[in-house]
């Protein structure tokens, strides 16, 4: 029999003494394991034992999400729950609201010693991130989400951490149109973001290949617009849909109840959801459902998008377009509490509307000289529709091309290059950087036929993503990675493309430039980050 003891003795003792035992000691005690790296971390001696007797104390409701999150993970992996303390005593985790000591939003202080853990913050996110840091300091088994061996006692190494994020916008985009992802997967995706202190989930809900959000007023949007495959009105474009062979109809959308559930789930993790309804291009699914409302019947223009989808652009010269979009935005606004809605605006194909009488009429009436000015007019209209529903606009950078009269608070996503982002910043426009060269996680890691992912831009290795230096300006709101889903033919591919690159994203978004170092980062990813992914069965790229 191959007992563990026999296996042990098969290796020379020296190997154990000099290599393996020191490795465990080192891995167990090292506190420099957190990703993204905290702004300040001071090691001290001793460890706090988190066990069945540990209690918590709190003087603020802002800590409630953080406490629940910790309780859930303890329940799952230890079988006990963290109870509230009756009186101040040893072996407690204290949550304290302190807006004097903590000045910045989302900031926290975490002090761990033998007797207690103390956490100070001024908002929900701060408390949540303190707990995330604490959980990253202990055995990665705390992140396990299936039932496994229960761990009764957790060692937390003593230290003091003072931490805050560099950027307020630390985002990830998931495209659920080209390929649909289940509610369960979306939740997993959001939870993994939260583990990295990412705080904005950009949900690309509509595109040519599928409309994925239930709109009560227009049921055909999902009845027709969420189905793709043979006999449907929606294109495969260059890529088929996930789950099953090409000749099967693929469908999927979220009901309004699903959406509310996911919003609540995200908010419990300090994540706001930015919904995107892409317009006026990338709208084949909506047009297939309601052609009469969204296209000019007399329009003779014939054109293809860059992804080779024909006539996929909403007509901005028709009254019915604005009534339709107003109604859609009304429902979207009620579903998502976040203050912004993303209206797309990317890649309006050349030639769209060029032979539409309705657009010609509009151009004459409003003295518009080109189709670009027509697009400009469209977004000015849409911006006031958003304002009416109490929302601000986010859009892709293309929307800025004609100096539109949009509100100063609106934000633009620069995807073509960092330079294009800086140009917008110079014009005093709010920018989120999502440059394809560094942060398009739908691109291959390295150029290789066997690697999944897109090839139309340069490959994005984890190191390449980590090397991004976004800079600073009051107009630079933060950064974001994009996971477009044309090539995401299953959840494993999505995981593979997202991890470990998302570790790099989180550190670029959170940690001050001077604290960042590739070698140090790589060590933390190897020692802890990957273990955390393994334990959750995340199919990362090794």
Under the rule (CB under 6 A), what is the footprint of ligand TNX?
346-347, 396, 415, 440, 442, 454, 484, 486
Q: Are residues 125 and 105 in contact, defined by beta-carbon separation less than 8 angstroms? A: yes
Report the nearest approach of ligand TNX to the CB of residue 485 (Å).
Answer: 8
CA-to-CA dists, residue 60 to 109, 118, 119, 121, 163, angstroms: 15, 14, 11, 10, 20
Report the nearest approach of ligand TNX to the CB of residue 440 (Å).
Answer: 6
Q: What count of other Cβ atoms lies within 10 Å of the Cβ of residue 146? A: 9
Report the nearest approach of ligand TNX to the CB of residue 347 (Å).
Answer: 5
Q: Are residues 181 and 241 in contact, defined by beta-carbon separation less than 8 angstroms? A: no
CA 488 to chain centroid, in Å, comes to 16
Residue placing its CB nearer to ligand TNX in the complex, 94 or 454 = 454
**DSSP states of 323-378:** HHHHHHHHHHHHH--SSEEEEE---PPTTTTTT-HHHHHHHHHHT--SHHHHHHHH
Residue placing its CB nearer to ligand TNX in the complex, 331 or 486 = 486
Q: Are residues 8 and 495 in contact, defined by beta-carbon separation less than 8 angstroms? A: no
- E strand or H helix that includes residue 373: helix 371-388
| 347 has catalytic annotation | yes
Of 106, 331, 347, 402, catalytic:
347
For residue 82, give the DSSP letter. P
Report the nearest approach of ligand TNX to the CB of residue 110 (Å).
Answer: 38
Residue placing its CB nearer to ligand TNX in the complex, 206 or 232 = 206
Report the nearest approach of ligand TNX to the CB of residue 486 (Å).
Answer: 6
Closest to 527 measured CA to CA, from 184, 80, 35: 35
Report the nearest approach of ligand TNX to the CB of residue 498 (Å).
Answer: 14
Max CA distance (Å), the chain: 88
CA 202/CA 277 separation, integer angstroms: 11
Residue placing its CB nearer to ligand TNX in the complex, 119 or 479 = 479
For residue 311, give the DSSP letter. S
User: CA gyration radius for the chain?
Assistant: 25
Residue placing its CB nearer to ligand TNX in the complex, 254 or 396 = 396
Residue placing its CB nearer to ligand TNX in the complex, 98 or 451 = 451
Alpha-helical runs (H) found in 236-316:
256-267, 284-289, 291-294
CA 439/CA 502 separation, integer angstroms: 9
Catalytic residues: 347
């Amino acid at each position: 029999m191959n007992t563990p003891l026999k296996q042990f003795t098969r290796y020379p003792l020296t190997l154990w003494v000099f290599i393996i035992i020191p490795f465990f000691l080192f891995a167990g005690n090292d506190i420099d394991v957190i990703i993204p790296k905290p702004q300040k971390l001071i090691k001290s001696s001793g460890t706090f034992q988190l066990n069945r007797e540990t209690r918590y104390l709190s003087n603020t409701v802002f800590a409630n999400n953080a406490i629940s999150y910790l309780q859930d993970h303890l329940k799952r992996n230890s079988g006990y729950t963290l109870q509230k303390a009756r009186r101040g005593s040893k072996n407690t985790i204290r949550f304290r609201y302190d807006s004097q000591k903590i000045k910045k939003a989302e900031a926290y202080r975490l002090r761990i010693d033998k007797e207690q853990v103390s956490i100070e913050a001024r908002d929900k996110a701060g408390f949540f991130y303190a707990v995330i840091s604490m959980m990253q300091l202990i055995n990665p088994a705390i992140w396990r989400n299936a039932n496994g061996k229960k761990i009764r006692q957790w060692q937390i190494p003593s230290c003091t951490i003072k931490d805050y994020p560099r950027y307020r916008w630390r985002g990830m985009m998931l495209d659920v149109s080209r390929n649909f992802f289940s509610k369960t997967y979306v939740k997993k995706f959001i939870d993994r973001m939260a583990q990295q202190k990412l705080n904005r989930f950009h949900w690309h809900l509509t595109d040519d290949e599928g409309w994925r959000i239930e709109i009560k007023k227009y049921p055909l949007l999902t009845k027709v617009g969420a189905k793709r495959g043979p006999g449907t009105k929606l294109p495969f474009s260059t890529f088929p849909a996930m789950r099953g062979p090409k000749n099967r109809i693929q469908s999927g959308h979220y009901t309004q109840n699903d959406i509310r559930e996911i919003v609540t789930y995200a908010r419990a993790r300090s994540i706001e959801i930015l919904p995107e309804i892409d317009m006026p291009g990338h709208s084949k699914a909506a047009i297939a459902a309601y052609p009469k409302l969204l296209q000019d019947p007399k329009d003779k223009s014939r054109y293809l998008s860059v992804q080779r989808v024909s006539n996929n652009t909403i007509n901005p010269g028709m009254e019915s377009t604005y009534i339709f979009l107003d109604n859609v935005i009304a429902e979207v606004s009620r579903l998502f509490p976040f203050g912004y809605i993303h209206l797309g605006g990317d890649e309006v194909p050349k030639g769209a509307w060029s032979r539409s009488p309705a657009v010609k009429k509009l151009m004459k009436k409003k003295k518009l000289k080109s189709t670009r000015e027509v697009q400009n007019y469209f977004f000015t209209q849409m911006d006031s529709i958003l304002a009416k529903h109490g929302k601000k606009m986010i859009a892709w950078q293309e929307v800025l091309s004609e100096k539109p009269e949009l509100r100063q608070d609106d934000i633009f996503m620069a995807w073509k290059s960092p330079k294009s982002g800086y140009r917008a910043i110079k014009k005093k426009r709010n920018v989120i950087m999502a440059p394809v060269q560094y942060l398009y996680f739908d691109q291959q890691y390295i150029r290789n036929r066997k690697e999944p992912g897109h090839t139309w831009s340069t490959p994005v290795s984890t190191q390449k993503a980590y090397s991004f230096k976004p800079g600073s300006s009051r107009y630079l709101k933060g950064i974001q990675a994009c996971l477009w889903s044309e090539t995401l033919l299953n959840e494993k591919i999505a995981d593979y493309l997202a991890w470990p690159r998302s570790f790099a994203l989180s550190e670029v978004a959170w940690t001050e430039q001077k604290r960042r170092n590739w070698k140090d980062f790589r060590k933390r990813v190897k020692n802890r980050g990957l273990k955390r992914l393994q334990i959750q069965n995340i199919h990362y790229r090794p």
